[in-house]
Structure 1
Amino acid sequence: MKVAVFGTKSYDKEFFKLEGINTTHELVFFESRLRVKTAQLANGFDAVCVFVNDVVDAETIGILAGFNIKVIALRCAGFNNVDLEEAEKHNIAVLRVPAYSPYAVAEHTLALILTLNRKTHKAYNRVREGNFSLDRLTGFDIHGKTVGVIGTGKIGQIFANIMKGLGCKVIGFDLYPNKDLEKSKLLKYVTLNELLEQSDIISLHCPLTPQTHHIINDHTIWRMKKGAMLINTSRGRLIDTEAAIRALAKGHLGYLGIDVYEQEEKLFFRDLSETLIRDEKMLNLMSFPNVLVTGHQAFFTDTALTQIARVTLGNLTAYENGEELVNKVGSEAIKG
């Protein structure tokens, strides 16, 4: 298939070219993200390949359908940026990579927790400037703390296991609890309110759906323990950013670590070091000493990049050969 790969960086080209050696697909890489204004670039292709911040809305899909695009290949697990119902109307298959390295995301979650707690990023900068003072670097023992995991899929389970290994009590909330997981005694399922009220550290590992949009908001934040740590390596819109800023400003939310952000499409995956950042919410967040932001890098390991390229290309091959599309996602995924 001839595939237009949108929003590409050097690492995308490297890993896709390496994995594409064993396929017949013709890959053409575009640095531009897919959206209405750039959809014309897909003219003459059989498929488009997109990432988390491409905007594949109804209007964009209409343009793609006019070019006879057959497949939208997501090189990620999330699909909230694609109008699935519109894709179905035009008989365009939407294929995703359901898992690439859940360990990478779970491990990055731990990195955010440890960095926020022990302030290693601040100590690093101090020492490089010859400042070996320990003032304001006090942390807390993670051992013995209660960790709340919202979303107990593969990543949530791996993260729970990591925190269990550190000697934490792990509790979980999921719209669809895994009975076998609770039987294993890895964690105990509780209600969302119980999790918020009991947890010292709360980590989000659920997909973005209408039910989970802004699951962290003014109401839920103020149910948390005063001084609790909140971590999000899942989807930016799980957190109402303005509510988080209010809770930080009032001293109720003790720590915030995010690898995703509500308006990240304006910032992430771009070098803006020579640019004036005009996102007031992000600037506000970065002004707090107890906030740590990374730019959607939780997945970013060589293992994950290899798997993303391999599965994405495999999905395209399966479509081309008329095989079962095991990674197809339809509009039923957003219903209910």
Structure 2
Amino acid sequence: MAVIVFYEATPVDTFQLTNGLQGTDHYWEYVSGVITPENINPNAEVISVFVDSVVTQEIMKRMPKLKLIATRSSGVNHIDLDYAKQRNITVVNVPNFGENTVAEHTFALLLMLARKLPDTINSVKDGSYSPAQHIGIDLIGKTIGIIGMGKIGGFMASISKGFQMDVLAYDISPKPDLAEKLGFKYTDMVSLLERSDIVSLHIPLSPESYHLINPKTIQHMKRGVILLNTARGELVDNRALVRALASGHIAGAGLDTIEGEKFLKTSSIIGNLVEKAAAPESYLHTAEAMALLRMKNVVITPHSAYNTIKAISRINTCTTKNIIDFWYGNTPNKVNIPHSSGKLVIVRHGQSEWNALGKWTGTTDVSITSTGIQESIDIGKKIMNIPFDFAYISQQIRTKETLDAIKKGANQPDLNYEETASINERDYGIYTGMRKNDIKKIIGDKEYDLLRRSWDGPVEGGESLKDVYERAVPFYLRIILPRLLHGQNILVVAHGNSIRSLIKYIENISDADIGNLEMIQGCALSYEVNKDGRMKHKEVILMDTTEDNEP
């Protein structure tokens, strides 16, 4: 007999789950709210949660008998899989439960936009309805472009054909038999965007699909297109979408998910404001979410495309079967827990010519010395057992020269890289090129320390550390983190201050404490991170000797 606790249990869940477990000798109880440290049952051997219950290491530690987590969802981002794996706690999910359900919801969003129903309904209620202001469009004869022709995409094609629409599709693995059966045509991505009156997204998130809808791809779309996204919020660049909606390039958007969707909730906004090292991007996501909520040509639903009686029944039936099967040693829906993330390795550039002279370099292009080359080769040897998938460097030549030396030492000569201004060194303004000791003599030790280490102290003609943080961290979250979460190993070669900015976010260091942090040369920091890009594990890889050569 197992002790089972169901969280986020609605009356429908309670009825269906009870029916599914009847006839077993298990004991079960229901909690209507999300799981918290305060409402756990320390004797629980099985817990079942939905997506709003965040199952952290702290929560699992309070349940020493826990053997199984049965999530009533396909996604598992709300569970600390690394700790579950460490504790040998099995995680099972519901892989398929609502392909037609999600497709129907997507089409409901389309119909609402095509006939301007939200604004029409509101105007009727407030007595301001005007037919001329609420003219819709017919769907018959329109072309819908479906990106991702899996099961949901297939149902979308079937429904669209029922409305006598022309259907185009893009998929990395075309299925000619399915196209013939359902009567749609495959095409390339650009052609689909250029020819479609409606674009509907039904693909998983990956480094390649992140911000698939962006300023460049929007330019390929017809003016007046309708965009539908019931897949993953991160497929769409929110700011690009808001601009296109405001200009009329995109006539309407139906969204069951958006990037940063947690900021649709007031509690998440408040939590972010009190965070020690909040991501600058989080404030932008909050603004984007509020803007999208208030636009008349946008319909947002709260990740509820699954929410029908039959789909919930399928979820709960699968969940009870998962629990019963587990007790008999059968786990067909066991989640294969991957490594938490790829490795993020951060290296400061090797000693530069101005480092050797004790000068503040900033954004000045200065090469590294022979000492800098050798120490970078040595660092490469230290990390040669990490097979890197990609590297990012700043626009300063010293990071490129350092990367070349690391590649040589690591015996990875073909490692591809990208330059970005986001991780450029801090601009020291009027102090650029001055020797440290000379600056101290001019402004005094106290002002020098404040200038060198303060969080937001102004620099005449230059940048504060806060300014660097506000360009480096969004780049990390938008570009680097998705690669890490898909298992890629990423090398970043940057500068003392851009690295301090990244560390501040990754290690959640407060504004007051960041002044005590130094990133020395001749070492590498290796991180594994969680889904928010925060540190889960850190390793400091040192050479035999290290030296601080630059502020």
TM-score normalised over the length of structure 1 = 0.84
- 123-132 vs 68-77, which moves further: 123-132
CA distance in 2, matches of 1:53, 1:187: 37
Q: CA 1:105–1:29 in structure 2 vs 1: closer, same or farther (change >3 Å)?
A: same
Question: Secondary structure of 2:131's partner?
Answer: coil
1:293 to 281, 296, 300: 300
Aligned partner of 1:313 in structure 2 is 320
CA distance in 1, matches of 2:148, 2:122: 35
- 1:1-336 matches, within 5 Å, as 1-34=2-35, 38=37, 41=40, 43-56=42-55, 59=57, 63=61, 67-84=64-81, 86-131=83-128, 133-267=130-264, 279-323=286-330, 325-331=331-337
CA distance in 1, matches of 2:19, 2:101: 21
1:78 and 1:207 in contact (8 A); partners too:
no
Question: Secondary structure of 1:281's partner?
Answer: helix
**How far 1:149 sits from its partner (Å)?**
1.2
CA distance in 2, matches of 1:186, 1:26: 51
Larger Rg: 2
CA distance in 1, matches of 2:256, 2:159: 19
1:255 and 1:291 in contact (8 A); partners too:
yes
Q: CA 1:95–1:103 in structure 2 vs 1: closer, same or farther (change >3 Å)?
A: same
2:239 and 2:288 in contact (8 A); partners too:
yes
Aligned partner of 2:275 in structure 1 is none
**How far 1:98 sits from its partner (Å)?**
1.7
Question: Secondary structure of 2:239's partner?
Answer: helix
Question: Secondary structure of 1:41's partner?
Answer: coil
| Structure 1: 5+ residue stretches without partners | 271-277
- 1:28-64 deviation per Cα after TM superposition (whole angstroms, max 9, x unaligned): 3334434xx638825321122222233346x458637
Question: Secondary structure of 2:320's partner?
Answer: helix
Question: Secondary structure of 2:213's partner?
Answer: coil
1:200 and 1:229 in contact (8 A); partners too:
yes
Cα RMSD between the aligned structures?
3.1
Question: Secondary structure of 2:133's partner?
Answer: coil
| Structure 2: 5+ residue stretches without partners | 268-282, 340-485, 489-551
CA distance in 2, matches of 1:109, 1:126: 24
Q: CA 1:63–1:262 in structure 2 vs 1: closer, same or farther (change >3 Å)?
A: farther
1:39 and 1:63 in contact (8 A); partners too:
no
Q: What amino acid does structure 2 have at the position aligned with 1:46?
A: E
Number of residues paired by the alignment? Answer: 325
CA distance in 2, matches of 1:131, 1:168: 33
Task: Using the aligned pairs only, state the percent identity.
Answer: 36
